[in-house]
Homo-oligomer: A and B are copies of this chain.
Amino acid sequence: MEKSFNKVSSLILGTALTASVASGATGELSKVMKERGLSEIDVVRAAKTYNPTGVKDKYVVFSSGGQSGQMIVYGVPSMRLLKYIGVFTPEPWQGYGYDEDSKKILRQGNIRGREINWGDTHHPALSETDGKYDGKWLAINDKANPRIAIIDLTDFETKQIVVNPVFKSDHGGAFFTPNSEHILESAQYAAPFDNNYHSIEDYKEEYRGGVTVWKFDPKIGRVIPNDSYTIEMPPYMQDLSDSGKGISNGWGFTNSFNSEMYTGGIEVGMPPNEAGMSRNDTDFLHVYNWEKLYKLSKNPKNVKMINNHKVIPMDVAVKNNALFLIPEPKSPHGVDVDPTGQYIVVCGKLDTHASVYDFKKIKELINNKEFVGKDPYGIPILDMKKTLHGQVELGLGPLHNQFSPVDGEIYTSLYVDSQVVKWNFKTLKVLDKQNVHYNIGHLAGMEGKSADPQGEYIIALNKLSIDRFQNVGPLHPQNHQLIDISGKKMDLLVDMPLPLGEPHQAVAIRASKLHPHVRYEMGTNTKTGKQHIGKTLAGQERIERDGKNVKVYATLVRSHINPERITVNKGDNVTIYITNLERAEDETHGFTVDNYDLHGSLEPGETIELNFNADIEGVFPYYCTEFCSALHLEMMGYLMVKDPNKKYVSSQKLKMKKMSPEELKAEYDKTIAVNNATDSVIQSVVKFLKDNNYQEHKVVANLVKDALDQYNKIPEQKRKANEALKKGDVEKAILFENMIWQLMVKTADVGIRAKDSLVRLVATKQSTAAARGETAFAEGGCNGCHVIGKVSSGPDLTGVLQRHENGIDWVSRFILAPETKYNDPYVKAMIDYFNLKMPNQHMNKEEVKDIIEYLKWVDENANLF
């Protein structure tokens, strides 16, 4: 303990403290350090990554979800997961792929008529303006089924899926060009562009790789398939890509790993692909001018239409000086363009070096038509050495690179060495290495691949976690490790286990660039952004029948579904349009029909469509699947499916006791009395809020708006209650009055939260002594009986210092020795009233002094309690 203390103190105090001072330490932090075995540096790392409640992160990371087919969102530096976004895999929490509207998005991803219900997401990309992230759109590719999806960052929902019509797989996407004009997507495993069988013996002749240059409209955030084209490439297994920027803008770079064109055959005694595909010392970096080729693609004579999609044949690209090859080290993984666009860094994962290419040198060779030869497909090859700025030995298994704002500073992942290496791609010097756990694939810098890297942190996306976490079975979580790069030396701060999916790449953006909304315009189809044809406002709920077609227009609001009963015939085609009428932030409702595999999730303002054939007879409850209010269980109804060919006989009625008119009247009066009492509480809160100018505090004003939203529904219910009463239906009147009470509870729920927020905002500042006093008051257990502003198991202490002569002295002495005052007439009266004696809590004089300061602060703010 002494040792651990010394370490902490030296951290905090520099070296000013001597061991003799330290030996007296008894503080809470050193106790926790001892108990949890934390070192001094652990505490600093904890402080660097800990977010107190309500504190938000500086960066937001978007990580692919691998085979989960989803996108993962988390915050930095807290490394807390914020959201999984459904992209290629149906996900019921979001309702994604369950309601008809999101199903339409998911089904855009059908391939040759086949439904695909998952994906292997690999490389997320953020939209760019001038090469910098603009926080508007997010793209992600599916390696398993060559597709690209677009996510809207105003609501973090998937809006479009585009199938690649000629590729049979896709690894090297998605990459935005610097003004989001295009998205690059490269094939992985070479295959015929058409959909026919071609023998593997014809691999070199019929199998092809390529890069698809999707046209993207950044205004509407959609890919425009018929303005897009694919560059045909040899079957070299194209891998990752990057778009040029700055001086290399207009160009694209794609590497490859099977220039051997090996096709395996382990089953017939051949060495496996892993041996044959890594035989050569070099593969090919593909360099192409997507800007020029895009213009060429507009002219039909330059393209071949395959599966109704424009393909620019290799010879056309070559003839137009738009496609070149440069040897690159064996089986590379990453190709990363630096923020200026001049340098292109390629790491060959089976080579210990990183290779830094200089675009100026590449461009010069191209301009001079200085080639060392052509590949078998006629593509000019540039001399590797002449295009290189240089090479640096980094270690075993270098893969990917990220940049920092420091000139020339670059971070590279080493898969086999399980390290991140910091080096300088200009001076070609290694600067630092950091161990990670284990087998890092990609790594993510803060905007580290944009034209404007932010530095501060690097995240290691590790593929194995083996011994890092509590064992949760043979399938381990993955491990994203946050590394502080702000100092001279990298420092591993914290591990984040990934509970679902195998992320491949992640991109990070400054949180301040994101501006998502919290609700939709009422009745929005969130997938199109337009008004939903099923939009239904309060009062418009209805069931329409047209033969066997039944359309239900339903609404959801805390805490009821309208309608509460839907009766259809077996065999009917039923469409339910549902609108979430809420305006309050975070008031999502769900809707499910039990046993019918029907489910939706609706954010405030959203409308969805559910569609089904009522093919099973019976009674099926439906309900809101969100814990949306205290009465959430009661937010339900019944779907009843009758068989039109059956005769149903009503059961004999159970005899139930009926209430007499007198009993009903008594209940009615009681209900009214409860409502009046509840309302007066609400009115006092309203007065408090108004008196303290709640409008001036946005967070409070929003809550009040939500509370009033509930409260304003009361007159309508009151009208109904009075109407029933007038007609003599006291029972119904009671129920409507009860509904009013429910609305009051919901008003109070939010209203009290608003009041508490306001108190914190408007109270006078506590002195240090008063703050200590509040803690002593709580830790001493005083708050067990005394609630400030309220009579609880003991008297309200607001004004207690004024209540007695020499109040401070009286109260102090009473706390220190309550038993001496048990016969004091006032105390005696209190003991009788509460049936409880104030106990001696053994506070010391200092604590009592502080509590007095706290009580003074209470009195200063008495109007707030």
A67 touches B17 (CB 8 A): no
B565 touches A437 (CB 8 A): no
Over the window 710-754 of chain A, the binary record of Cβ atoms lying under 8 Å from chain B Cβ atoms (1 yes, 0 no) is 000000010010000000000010111011001001001100110
List, in ascending order, chain B residues with CB within 8 A of A42's CB.
47, 50, 52
Over the window 507-547 of chain A, the binary record of Cβ atoms lying under 8 Å from chain B Cβ atoms (1 yes, 0 no) is 00001001011111000000000000000000001010000
Partner of A195, one of B495, B514, B561, B618: B618
B473 touches A516 (CB 8 A): yes
Q: Please report which residues of chain A, range 815-852, place their CB below 8 angstroms from some CB of chain B when the two chains form the complex.
A: none
List, in ascending order, chain B residues with CB within 8 A of A596's CB.
114
A796 within 8 A of B: no
**From DSSP, what is the main secondary structure of chain A's interface residues?**
loop
A705 within 8 A of B: no
B464 touches A586 (CB 8 A): yes
A487 within 8 A of B: yes
Number of copies: 2
- CB-CB under 8 A for A742 and B278, given A197-B619, A477-B83: yes
Q: Please report which residues of chain A, range 576-632, place their CB below 8 angstroms from some CB of chain B when the two chains form the complex.
A: 585-586, 588, 590, 592, 594-597, 599, 601, 603-606, 616-621, 623, 625-628, 630-631
A594 touches B47 (CB 8 A): no
User: What is the CA–CA distance of A865 and B258 in the complex, to the nearest angstrom?
Assistant: 37
A562 touches B272 (CB 8 A): yes
List, in ascending order, chain B residues with CB within 8 A of A488's CB.
779-781
List, in ascending order, chain B residues with CB within 8 A of A467's CB.
54, 699
Partner of A275, one of B144, B627, B742, B792: B742
Which residue, of A36, A65, A144, has the highest number of chain B Cβ atoms within 10 A? A144
A46 touches B50 (CB 8 A): yes
Closest to A580 in B: B474
A497 within 8 A of B: yes
List, in ascending order, chain B residues with CB within 8 A of A168's CB.
594-595, 618-621
- CB-CB under 8 A for A502 and B417, given A67-B590, A264-B564, A621-B168: no
Partner of A619, one of B74, B80, B198, B756: B198
- CB-CB under 8 A for A204 and B779, given A5-B12, A621-B188: no
A148 within 8 A of B: no
User: What is the CA–CA distance of A36 and B631 in the complex, to the nearest angstrom?
Assistant: 40
User: What is the CA–CA distance of A846 and B734 in the complex, to the nearest angstrom?
Assistant: 84
Over the window 188-216 of chain A, the binary record of Cβ atoms lying under 8 Å from chain B Cβ atoms (1 yes, 0 no) is 11011001111111101111000000000
A93 touches B67 (CB 8 A): yes
List, in ascending order, chain B residues with CB within 8 A of A157's CB.
473
A228 within 8 A of B: no
- Distance in Å from the Cβ of A800 to the closest Cβ of chain B? 20
A425 within 8 A of B: no
User: What is the CA–CA distance of A44 and B30 in the complex, to the nearest angstrom?
Assistant: 9
Partner of A470, one of B17, B48, B82, B98: B82
A641 within 8 A of B: yes
Partner of A635, one of B192, B274, B620: B274
A675 within 8 A of B: no
Over the window 117-143 of chain A, the binary record of Cβ atoms lying under 8 Å from chain B Cβ atoms (1 yes, 0 no) is 110100000000000000000000001
User: What is the CA–CA distance of A30 and B504 in the complex, to the nearest angstrom?
Assistant: 36
Closest to A588 in B: B475
A282 within 8 A of B: no
A49 touches B50 (CB 8 A): yes
A397 within 8 A of B: yes
Closest to A272 in B: B560
Besides A120-B625, A331-B634, A471-B514, 9 other A-B contacts (C-beta < 8 A): A16-B25, A32-B47, A57-B469, A191-B621, A276-B738, A396-B745, A431-B784, A467-B699, A489-B779
Q: Which 5 A-B pairs have the closest CB atoms?
A: A46-B50, A267-B563, A156-B473, A264-B564, A189-B621
Ordered by A's residue number, 10 sampled pairs between the chains whose C-beta atoms are within 8 Å are A9-B9, A45-B50, A49-B50, A50-B494, A264-B637, A333-B633, A350-B631, A396-B749, A431-B781, A489-B778
